[in-house]
Structure 1
Amino acid sequence: MIRLPVFFSAPHRVMFLGGTVQALLAMAFWSLQAGGHYAGLWSPPAWPLLLRFPPPLLHAMLLAGGVFPFFVFGFILTAGPRWQGAGDLPPRDFVPAFLLLAGGWLVVWVSLALPILLVAGLAAALVGWAAVALTLTRIASRRAEQREHITCIAIAAWLGASGLGAFLAFAAGAGATWARAGIALGVWGFLLPVFLTVAHRMLPFFTSSALRGYEVHRPAWALRVLLGASFGHGLLATLELPQWLWLADLPAMLAAGRLSWLWWARNVIDNRMLAVLHVAFLWVAPAFALFALQSISWRTWPGLLGQAPLHALTLGFFASMLIGMASRVTMGHSGRPVAADAAMWSAFCMMQAAALLRVVSDLPGLPGGYVVMWLSSVLWLGAFALWAWRYAPAFWRPRMDGKPG
């Protein structure tokens, strides 16, 4: 049974539970659509909304706007104030935003059957998102020695809000350009900058805390190159200039590869909590390499790799890093020892398999690619269901050590 005072006492509780429900719904929906619409294994339900929103576009909106953001907000609203030397946020700073986000996305799900509700649902979610962005802006404006990370995240939150606003415009009848802008802003303006910034801030810190003698490296140039490349890629994609994306992707590949080299340590793999985070980040450089290869070959073989580069980034990096970071926060803020358990490690390994299958499914010449894509979605769903079974109850239960929060 959910104890509301406990549930509403900390931002990670409400946001992580919202993200967990959204992830299970979104991937169950996509598995159903991928198995039926693409793999031809059954006849998928004929939802009225899909006459306006093609399944791949709805999938992109649900993941970029309605799944990952809950986890991002839960993490940053918990860690961000501490980065700035401030205390924990009171419920008034995150509960109204959560209710708007959760209520808005609930209405979006209902709009599958009643499309007239889609605009209202997205509008409510957008107001909730803007409330979070305002809170992050206030946190970033606090005087502190190091403000670069939280400032980057606050800016990205506003870009993400703009992306959801672009989806709202498309839902209200605007052209497909708005939907493309929504995807670009959601992935390249919000999610990738946030995940990169959090990794740059936290991976060296977590590793130095666990490994004796580990040397911390946080080169500012690498983060700035990666952020510039992310924004540049998003802009070029929105302008439909795929043949020039390599200008952003190659520098990003080199910067990400350099960070992976600097952050890795020989005994990282022996600590599963660290291994999850480091292996997740290892996906970034290959993802940008695939993007660059696809861009360079565009004039000869347009769309050579399909969505393989994107899913190397979103499944390989985002989803894997989410499992590691959300598990760490959940354990640490529920009074449990921060150590990888069998459920987390199994979910992470399943997510690696899902990412590999999804990348392979788009490689040229592969027979049965749509079936492989469906198998990837089933693995994604299974990985997250396992994670939710193990960790979701902590979101509504009191801390094991009796402390508040």
Structure 2
Amino acid sequence: MTLPIGNQTPAPPAPHGMPWLRLAFRPFYLGAALLAALIVPFWVAVFLGSIQWQPTPPPLLWHAHEMLFGFAIAVIVGFLMTAGKSWTGLQTPRGPALGALFLLWLSARVASLMAPYAVFAVLDLALLPIVGLIFLRLLIRSRNWRNVPLALILLLLTAVNLTFHLSATGVIDLNPTRSLYAALGFVVIIECVMAGRVVPFFTASALPNLKIVTLPWLDRLALAATVVGMVLWVTEWHSGLASVALALAFALNLVRQWRWHPLATLGRPILWILHAAHLWLALGLGLLALAQLGLVTPSLGVHALGVGATGGLILGMMTRTARGHTGRPLTADAPEIAVYVLIMLAALLRVLLPLLTPSLYVSSLVASAAAWSAAFLIYLWQYTPWLVSARPDGKDG
């Protein structure tokens, strides 16, 4: 054992283990990007009849479930298990333990395509409670009470997923779409919370001459309106009240974003993608409010939240956090800019084009799927070498 001499401090332990299993963002970002790139065009081909395939739940339910519990949950798990180490100062799963969690996620995705439904359901239900309890234990040990609600949401999503599987197989008499809407609602709530924290912080850090004063009461009010609006929408308790709450959430999220000075970020792609995605979050809430009045179809609001908000925020965070945790500059090069433009184009094609020109629905669906898939393929091309190799600065992580 070597002791420090004088004012010297001990060197940090040398990195060990396979680089791609040192932090959760590495395997889960790769898996999520690959899944996103493949299953959206596959789903469109099934929807249009180009591929004949009939899973146990109808293909539409399979598509929505895999986008939420396959794609979005993988990114959330990768992000929270990585951020949890920074938030708590405690070690999160790595090496074989992390590999086992990733293989559990991957096996469920493969099972959704070819295994008996019971096998798929068991595998699919296993990941979230394990990760939720690990995350909750870290937060309690470090007394990080602020983030405990995020761990509880992971556990609540387990109950939502169980309800989906039971309703999709007819065990309980409930429309499985309600469970999928509830899952989307929880994802939107996570996005509302995290965007309120990171978007103004990242913007102020990158643009120090910009004065951003956040109003905690406004953030809490926007979150409360979003939660109430999503609950009323999911439960279908009262369409009029749901419309009011969702419209209020739309307005409050727009007001708080305007205070973050989004126009000042137009020259910084790694910033404007987060602002653009948050704008889609507000627009999605607004479209759901209109849907409660019968003015538009709910699908437009769902895809504004799913493609524009979730897809945009995920790619914005997957690029930024992957660069930061692999020791690279927090800038957007040409591939990142292409990714950001493509995901925003996918949202516009999927939401605004059918709204303005319903006759072009099929064309908009195909074009949006192509743009979405291209965005994630470019991400894989740029980031796979970084995510599977050690940091260039020699640090762990």
Structure 1 residues 90 and 306, CA gap change in structure 2 (3 angstroms): closer
Contact 2:320–2:330 (Cα < 8 Å) also in 1: yes
Looking at structure 1, the residues matched to 329 and 191 of structure 2 have their Cα atoms a distance apart, in angstroms, of: 24
Specify the alignment match of 2:53 in structure 1: 47
Give the drift of 1:178: 4.9
Higher mean C-alpha deviation, range 279-288 or range 226-235: 226-235
Percent identity, aligned pairs only? Answer: 26
Specify the alignment match of 2:22 in structure 1: 9
Looking at structure 1, the residues matched to 360 and 250 of structure 2 have their Cα atoms a distance apart, in angstroms, of: 30
Give the drift of 1:245: 2.1
Summarize the alignment of residues 72-91 of structure 1 with structure 2, pairs less than 5 Å apart: 72-84=76-88, 86-91=89-94
RMSD: 2.3
Contact 2:249–2:285 (Cα < 8 Å) also in 1: yes
Please give the per-residue CA displacement for 1:34-86, whole angstroms capped at 9, x wherever unaligned: 4x2xxxxxx4222231xx422221111010110011111111111133234x1
Specify the alignment match of 1:30 in structure 2: 43
Specify the alignment match of 1:214 in structure 2: 210
Summarize the alignment of residues 2-401 of structure 1 with structure 2, pairs less than 5 Å apart: 5-34=18-47, 36=48, 43-49=49-55, 52-84=56-88, 86-91=89-94, 94-111=98-115, 117-143=116-142, 147-148=145-146, 150-175=147-172, 177-189=174-186, 191-241=187-237, 242-264=239-261, 266-295=263-292, 297-298=293-294, 304-363=296-355, 366-401=358-393
Looking at structure 2, the residues matched to 48 and 267 of structure 1 have their Cα atoms a distance apart, in angstroms, of: 48
Contact 1:107–1:121 (Cα < 8 Å) also in 2: yes
Give the drift of 1:266: 4.7
Contact 2:280–2:305 (Cα < 8 Å) also in 1: yes
Structure 1 residues 48 and 371, CA gap change in structure 2 (3 angstroms): same
TM (normalized to structure 1)? 0.86
Looking at structure 2, the residues matched to 18 and 230 of structure 1 have their Cα atoms a distance apart, in angstroms, of: 30
Higher mean C-alpha deviation, range 59-68 or range 374-383: 374-383
Contact 2:34–2:376 (Cα < 8 Å) also in 1: no
Looking at structure 1, the residues matched to 51 and 396 of structure 2 have their Cα atoms a distance apart, in angstroms, of: 45
Looking at structure 2, the residues matched to 364 and 176 of structure 1 have their Cα atoms a distance apart, in angstroms, of: 37
Looking at structure 2, the residues matched to 102 and 390 of structure 1 have their Cα atoms a distance apart, in angstroms, of: 22
Looking at structure 2, the residues matched to 48 and 228 of structure 1 have their Cα atoms a distance apart, in angstroms, of: 40
Give the drift of 1:166: 1.8
Give the drift of 1:88: 4.0
Letter in 2 for 1:260: Q
Please give the per-residue CA displacement for 1:157-200, whole angstroms capped at 9, x wherever unaligned: 122222221222134433562512321221002x1111111111
Letter in 2 for 1:19: A
Contact 1:81–1:88 (Cα < 8 Å) also in 2: yes
Looking at structure 2, the residues matched to 224 and 119 of structure 1 have their Cα atoms a distance apart, in angstroms, of: 41
Consecutive unaligned residues of structure 2, counting only runs of 5 or more, are 1-15
Looking at structure 2, the residues matched to 130 and 380 of structure 1 have their Cα atoms a distance apart, in angstroms, of: 30
User: What SS does structure 1 have at the residue aligned with 2:393?
Assistant: coil
Contact 1:101–1:126 (Cα < 8 Å) also in 2: no
Please give the per-residue CA displacement for 1:258-290, whole angstroms capped at 9, x wherever unaligned: 221111255321222111111211222222222
Contact 1:306–1:363 (Cα < 8 Å) also in 2: no
Give the drift of 1:133: 0.8
Specify the alignment match of 1:39 in structure 2: none
Structure 1: 4+ residue segments shifted above 4 A: none
Letter in 2 for 1:308: L
Structure 1 residues 360 and 90, CA gap change in structure 2 (3 angstroms): closer
Give the drift of 1:365: 5.7
Higher mean C-alpha deviation, range 324-333 or range 394-403: 394-403
Structure 1 residues 89 and 244, CA gap change in structure 2 (3 angstroms): same
Contact 1:163–1:184 (Cα < 8 Å) also in 2: no
Q: How many residues align?
A: 380
Looking at structure 1, the residues matched to 141 and 200 of structure 2 have their Cα atoms a distance apart, in angstroms, of: 24
User: What SS does structure 2 have at the residue aligned with 1:177?
Assistant: coil
Looking at structure 2, the residues matched to 33 and 48 of structure 1 have their Cα atoms a distance apart, in angstroms, of: 9
Highest Rg: 1 or 2?
2
Looking at structure 2, the residues matched to 353 and 306 of structure 1 have their Cα atoms a distance apart, in angstroms, of: 20
Please give the per-residue CA displacement for 1:174-231, whole angstroms capped at 9, x wherever unaligned: 3562512321221002x11111111112112212221113334443334433443444
User: What SS does structure 2 have at the residue aligned with 1:283?
Assistant: helix
Structure 1 residues 122 and 224, CA gap change in structure 2 (3 angstroms): farther
Looking at structure 1, the residues matched to 353 and 17 of structure 2 have their Cα atoms a distance apart, in angstroms, of: 43
Looking at structure 1, the residues matched to 202 and 354 of structure 2 have their Cα atoms a distance apart, in angstroms, of: 35
Looking at structure 2, the residues matched to 219 and 143 of structure 1 have their Cα atoms a distance apart, in angstroms, of: 27
